[in-house]
């Protein structure tokens, strides 16, 4: 009968590759068979601790073939429960918690085996660090190891202290220093680390770091070097600071991927003689800077300003600013860059009177008190100038839900008009963004825009109010994020919120009605300035939030749709809004987006529109028709279109 449970095995490796057995008798006074590294194999996967909790196919780690495989027993812990426990361990067994003596791979294996089978791993493995430290040679090496991993928690016995007093000075020979460095590197090694600050103990480890990161700054240091101790904390601070804060407007895609912009590496030349020899280090501190594996600069000494300048030069070389940073756009910069909102309403009585009529037609008679209270609150805010939050009646949300469900589409415009005013209130907006399981606003946009409803089936008044509602959602970071979210979707069709917003925009841009097109142009403007702000504050797509290619496709879709609407548009106000949107989307755009704009003829359309407006300006000035106030406003719009058109062409 097959034994129940899953087998648990302990894989044992020798980090010294046999050197401990060869040298230990002379160095320590007793035989040490190996410097043990262990991992646990269960459910077909090898689990171990180094740069955090790692996993691999059994026997396929960078440690090679195990020296010994120990059958620990069989576990009856279900695989799902084990994986859940392992996820919990990952939160505590992190790379920064690794310590060669106190918190190493063997401690991890021991804890894992205790969970799986209630059994410790062999004591000769877990006891080795304490045994080693309690020797004269171990005491002499303790400062070296503590310099690499931090203070050790191992208790120092009286015998160890006495041994330390008589121990020889820890002047390490080159071969011994190399051995210590290699063991330390192997113990904590793993596939290329993603941490911004790393250490290298041998050439292979440093080569791996250089091959894995675009920008690498190396601090060649020494424990006995006073200036090194002064500048080393500054080196660490600068690396962390630049990874966290460094931004350049329009920076290339390389700076937007997940990971570090620059990696700092510390090399102790006393422990890493092979690295020091390869890079010809004759003094400490020495700093070298590498771009794509090639050295671009170096300097010697503890000069913080020179270190700062060298790091900035490295980053600038790797992620140069967009060519548009050198191009002046005074017209674009002079135009408002705040979202267009539809915040005014002087016809509240008319809106509510129409709504009451429609409610009676649908036999909605039990909501009059809530409707009256809602009207009073909006009048206080929008007609009497009351400041502060709206004072809405209990049940206001249920009232709107009933109206949205029961009022026919052609009569819904007063309900949507009320909703677009309500959404301007911070508390109500936050409710709809954070606490509305029905996603009411996004469902309204989906229901009356895009693929769900063709423009001809949605009355003009309803489409206008839906677009105004979308524009008024551009009033806070959270509500903007909701409109443009890819991760949030509408059930049951799982359409991303951003797709809903985009479909509404594109369908409305080509409407035969000027009022709809003007609102659509306002929405296009709002989206474009948000994209422009994102490029300047996050260098495009914020790291970790969205794939660069997907974002580029979306912006390309916007450019194509807005450019088509712009080409066919003749109303100056709409032309100016669309042209401004195009300018924001093209400024600091990726080469692919710029190329698309050229291919679809954006430059030609903008040039033609500019020529038309220049001719209109000449005709108006020739006729002397510039005295009327309205004509002056028209002239100003045409002049802005002409100037902005010139800047857009130069952006291509």
> Which residues are CB-contacts of 94 (< 8 A; sequence separation ≥ 6)?
52
Q: Alpha-carbon torsion 526, 528, 531, 532, what sign? A: negative
Which of the 8 DSSP states describes residue 362?
Answer: T
- Helix crossing, 548-568 with 514-538: angle to 10°? 150
Catalytic residues: 37, 105
Element (H, E) at 600: none
For residue 525, give both structure tokens: 């403007």
- Rounded to whole angstroms, the Cα distance separating 651 from 585 reads 10
Beta bridge partner(s), residue 74: 7
Helix (H, G, I), strand (E, B) or coil at 65: coil
Q: Tokens in use for 15?
A: 């980090």
CA separation for the pair 573, 352 (Å, rounded):
30
Determine the 3-state secondary structure of 14 from DSSP.
Answer: strand
3 state SS of 285: coil
Report the alpha-carbon distance of residue 36 to residue 126 in Å, rounded. 9
- Helix ranges restricted to H, 123-225: 123-126, 128-133, 136-149, 158-166, 174-188, 203-212
Contact 547, 257 (CB under 8 A): no
* CB count in 10 Å sphere of residue 271: 27
Tell me the torsion sign for CA atoms 342, 506, 441, 358: positive
Torsion angle, alpha carbons of 553, 556, 557, 558, to 10:
130
Residue 179 CA to residue 177 CA, distance in Å, equals 5
Contact 200, 181 (CB under 8 A): no
236 three-class SS:
helix
Give the distance from CA 331 to its chain's centroid: 32
CA distance 148 to 177: 13
Q: How many CB atoms lie within 10 A of CB 141?
A: 20
**3-state percent breakdown (helix, strand, coil) of the chain, nearest 5:** 55, 10, 30
> CB under 8 Å to 370, separation ≥6 — which residues?
393, 394, 395, 396, 398, 399
> From CA 12, how far away is CA 359, in angstroms rounded?
78
261 close to 243: Cβ distance less than 8 angstroms: yes
Q: Are 588 and 535 in contact (CB under 8 A)?
A: yes
Rg (CA), the chain: 34
- Contact between 231 and 307 (Cβ < 8 Å): yes
């Amino acid at each position: 009968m097959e034994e129940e449970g899953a087998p648990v095995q302990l894989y044992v490796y020798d980090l010294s590759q046999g050197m401990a057995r060869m040298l230990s008798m002379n160095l320590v006074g007793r035989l040490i068979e190996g410097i043990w590294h262990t991992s646990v194999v269960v459910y077909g996967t090898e689990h171990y601790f180094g740069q955090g909790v790692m996993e691999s196919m059994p026997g396929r780690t960078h440690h090679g073939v195990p020296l010994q495989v120990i059958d620990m027993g069989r576990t009856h812990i279900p695989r799902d429960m084990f994986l859940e426990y392992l996820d919990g361990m990952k939160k505590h067994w992190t790379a920064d918690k690794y310590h060669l003596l106190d918190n190493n791979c063997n401690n991890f294996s021991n804890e894992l085996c205790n969970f799986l089978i209630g059994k410790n791993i062999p004591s000769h493995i877990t006891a080795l660090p304490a045994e080693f430290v309690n020797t004269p040679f171990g005491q002499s090496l303790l400062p070296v190891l503590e310099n690499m991993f931090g203070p050790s928690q191992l208790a120092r016995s009286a015998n160890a202290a006495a041994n330390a007093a008589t121990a020889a000075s820890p002047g390490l020979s080159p071969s011994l220093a190399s051995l210590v460095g290699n063991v330390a590197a192997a113990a904590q090694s793993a596939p290329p680390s993603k941490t911004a600050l790393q250490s290298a103990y041998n050439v292979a480890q440093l080569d791996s770091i250089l091959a894995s990161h675009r920008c690498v700054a190396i601090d060649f240091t020494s424990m006995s070097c006073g200036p090194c101790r002064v500048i080393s904390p500054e080196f660490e601070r600068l690396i962390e600071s630049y990874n966290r804060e460094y931004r350049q407007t329009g920076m290339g895609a390389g700076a937007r991927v997940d990971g570090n912009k620059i990696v700092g590496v510390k090399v102790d030349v006393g422990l890493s003689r092979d690295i020091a020899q390869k890079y010809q280090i004759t003094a400490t501190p020495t700093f070298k800077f590498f771009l794509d594996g090639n050295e671009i600069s170096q300097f010697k000494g503890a000069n913080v300003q020179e270190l700062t300048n060298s790091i900035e030069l490295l980053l600038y070389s790797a992620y140069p600013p967009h060519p548009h940073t050198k191009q002046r756009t005074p017209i674009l910069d002079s135009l408002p860059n705040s979202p267009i909102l539809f915040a005014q309403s002087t016809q509240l009585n008319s809106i509510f009177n129409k709504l009451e009529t429609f409610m009676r037609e649908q036999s909605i008679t039990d909501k009059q008190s809530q409707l009256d209270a809602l009207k009073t609150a909006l009048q206080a805010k929008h007609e009497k100038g009351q400041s502060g939050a709206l004072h809405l009646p209990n049940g206001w949300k249920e009232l709107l839900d009933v109206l949205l469900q029961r009022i026919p589409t052609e009569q819904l415009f007063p309900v949507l008009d009320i909703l677009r005013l309500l959404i301007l209130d911070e508390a109500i907006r936050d409710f709809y963004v954070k606490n509305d399981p029905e996603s009411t606003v996004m469902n309204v946009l989906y229901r009356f825009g895009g693929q769900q409803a063709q423009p001809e089936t949605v009355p003009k008044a309803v489409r206008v109010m839906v677009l105004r509602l979308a524009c008024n959602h551009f009033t806070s970071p959270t509500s903007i994020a909701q409109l443009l979210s890819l991760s949030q979707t509408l059930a049951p069709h799982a359409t991303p919120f951003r797709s809903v917003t985009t479909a509404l925009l594109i369908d409305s841009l080509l409407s035969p009605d000027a009022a709809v097109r003007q609102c659509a142009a306002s929405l296009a403007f709002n989206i474009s300035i948000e994209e422009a702000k994102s490029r300047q504050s996050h260098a495009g797509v914020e790291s970790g939030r969205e794939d660069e290619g997907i974002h580029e496709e979306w912006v390309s879709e916007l450019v194509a749709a807005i450019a088509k609407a712009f080409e066919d548009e003749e109303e100056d106000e709409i032309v100016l809004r669309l042209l401004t949107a195009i300018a924001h989307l093209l400024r600091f755009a990726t080469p692919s987006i710029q190329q698309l704009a050229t291919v679809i003829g954006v430059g030609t359309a903008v040039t033609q529109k500019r020529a038309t407006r220049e001719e209109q300006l000449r005709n108006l000035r020739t006729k002397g028709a510039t005295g009327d106030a309205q004509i002056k406003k028209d002239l100003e719009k045409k002049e802005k279109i002409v100037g902005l058109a010139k800047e857009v062409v130069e952006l291509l």
